[in-house]
A and B are shown apart, each in its own frame.
Chain A
Amino acid sequence: MIPLEVILYSVLVLMVWSGLYRVTWVFRIAESLIVGLFLGFTIYNGIDIIINRVWNPIVIKGNWINPLWFSVVMGVITWGRFHRSTEFLSRWSLAFLAAIGSALAVSGAIRAQIIAQLVVQVWSYTDLWATLNQIIIFVTMICVLFYFTFSFKQSGAKGGISRLGRLVFMVQLGCTFGTMVMGNFAIPIGIVYELSKPPAFYFTIGAFLIIMLDIILRRVGIELKFPFK
């Protein structure tokens, strides 16, 4: 007896991957299902947070005089965006969110993203290779900053530095792309890992056979019609 989990896994994955061959109602159903389930998931977890962090401390525990009311009011007024007369209220809570987020980001950014990046880590008079590397890092950093500064015309010497900056930028993009591919390969590999083991493997064979059948039927001019597009 094939476990239900295996059947479900195989069928759902193959429904989504059918889109690689042709986008049909099979793919569209899987697409709608994932959005729907995620919608339910988000609502469930959102309500859970409000119950745990607002309802329980205020109502169940009876702490009616509570700084949480500030958050509750801020949260409720975001719903003001649904009516023209109360739309202005939702901007107040957006301003609150943006303010807290950006203040925290900026306070960390000055130290971690600006000052720390300008400090030379290793400056050794004995290890010339490490020192040379630090010089190259510093020079490439300046070149890329030049490339991305559009306040002045990039011609002459500035243009040359900017050109070098662009090449270094290409190196960085190459590094990102080269390392990114592993992540993109990992996900289908993980799925293939499951689909290549019996009993899921039988569903994989079934899917291949269905595709072969569709190719043959279309070659002879027969198109299978379904009520859904």
Chain B
Amino acid sequence: MVEEKKVSGEFPKADRLIFLTFLVLMMIPMIFPIGLPIPISSLSREAFKAVEEVPNGGVILIEENNAFGTLVDIGPGESAFLRHAFEKLVTKDVRIIIYSGSIDGNQISQRFLREYVGLPDPFNTDPTYGKLWVHLGWIPGGETIIAGMVTNMAATAPVDLYGNPTVNMEVFKYVAARAPPIDIINGNDINLFMVVHNTSPDAWIRQWGQYGDPQRGFPHGNQIQIASSAQQASAMVFIQAGQMRSIIGGQRAGAEYELLIQRPGLGASTMDAQNFAHIFGIALIIGANIIFWSQRLKRRSEK
């Protein structure tokens, strides 16, 4: 490749052309939607099945560790999961405990609960708050908190989002009584674990991977993670080892989950653009290599 003269604060011309082509290509399916099909993968079906299999009166623990920047990537899966889980609140008398490991996750989860699940603001005006579900707010501390939530939840989260003590809440008492010790909430009281994150899956595997749903054939690892598509590759080893049930990785998996709950949203509407973007990316790789090898062969033949 011929090196261009570098101007401070400017990308090379080829790069700017690539950005412009990408942006124009993405706009085409947005303005003229095509509606290409979205096949549903086994991982998304497994995640859906995991929620469907939560028994009557079961408990779902949700950690929101998302960031604003990855909202568009992970958001579709997260919003679809929350809608699905809260449907079970009504149809199967399920209990839900939500907390956030990141500041952003705290705000994102509250926004999604208002916009997609339709809960009132503030949440404690909802009659089921405190009885069937609770939001514990942001709890900083990383892996220590992940561990604390499954060893003694009330000690790790003594207050909820609004500063009310959790130990006397109806939902906490119900969950604590499900498995011994009956006055402490630990991992044995939880049927399904879900975490939304944009990092690697290891911390939750280490701390939650030992808890599961033995009666339903998951002696450990009844855990779903909603993460970026890049985490699918590293999550496979944990899924194979039975430490995790499934992963909803990225925008496509989010779109698939939206279709499974029959509520297509942002994920499903952007799949046409994803198709175009991938084709463009593959074309860039192949095109760049064709140029590279043709120049190399030309240099060799000149010698």
Q: Which residues of A contact B (CB under 8 A)?
A: 20-24, 41-42, 45, 49, 52-53, 56-57, 100-101, 104-105, 107-109, 111-113, 116-117, 119, 121, 137, 172, 175-176, 179-183, 185-193, 195-197
Contact = CB atoms under 8 A, between A and B. Distances in A.
A108 B207 contact: yes
Nearest to A172: B233
A180 B274 contact: no
B241 A49 contact: no
Contact of A187 (B9, B10, B69, B281): B69
Given A182-B251, A183-B228, A183-B230, A189 B158 contact: no
Nearest to A195: B27
Interface of B: 9-11, 16, 19, 22-23, 26-27, 30-31, 69-73, 103, 106, 137-138, 140, 142-144, 147, 158-159, 163, 202-203, 205-207, 209-210, 228-234, 237, 240-243, 249-252, 266, 269-270, 273-274, 277-278, 281
Contacts of B103: 41-42, 45
Contact of A182 (B138, B229, B243): B229
A180 B125 CA distance: 41
Nearest to B104: A41
Contacts, number: 148
Residue of A109, A116, A190 with most chain B CB atoms under a 10 A cut-off: A190
Residue of B69, B72, B159 with most chain A CB atoms under a 10 A cut-off: B72
A104 B207 contact: yes
Given A104-B143, A189-B72, A113 B205 contact: yes
A102 B94 CA distance: 34
Given A21-B11, A117-B237, A179-B230, 9 more contacts: A52-B137, A101-B143, A176-B234, A179-B233, A181-B278, A182-B229, A186-B229, A193-B270, A195-B27
A185 B277 contact: yes
A20 B11 contact: yes
B273 A193 contact: yes
Contacts of B209: 108, 111-112, 116
A193 B266 contact: yes
Contact of A112 (B72, B106, B232, B243): B243
A19 to B, nearest CB: 8
A116 B27 contact: no
Given A22-B10, A117-B237, A180-B230, A190 B144 contact: no
B230 A112 contact: no
A183 B143 CA distance: 24
A190 B72 contact: yes
A183 B241 contact: no
A192 B26 contact: yes
A104 B241 CA distance: 21
Contacts of A195: 27
Contact of B9 (A23, A112, A137): A23
Given A53-B159, A57-B158, A179-B233, A113 B202 contact: yes
B243 A187 contact: no
Contact of B27 (A52, A119, A186, A196): A196
Nearest to B202: A113
Contacts of B241: 116-117, 119, 121
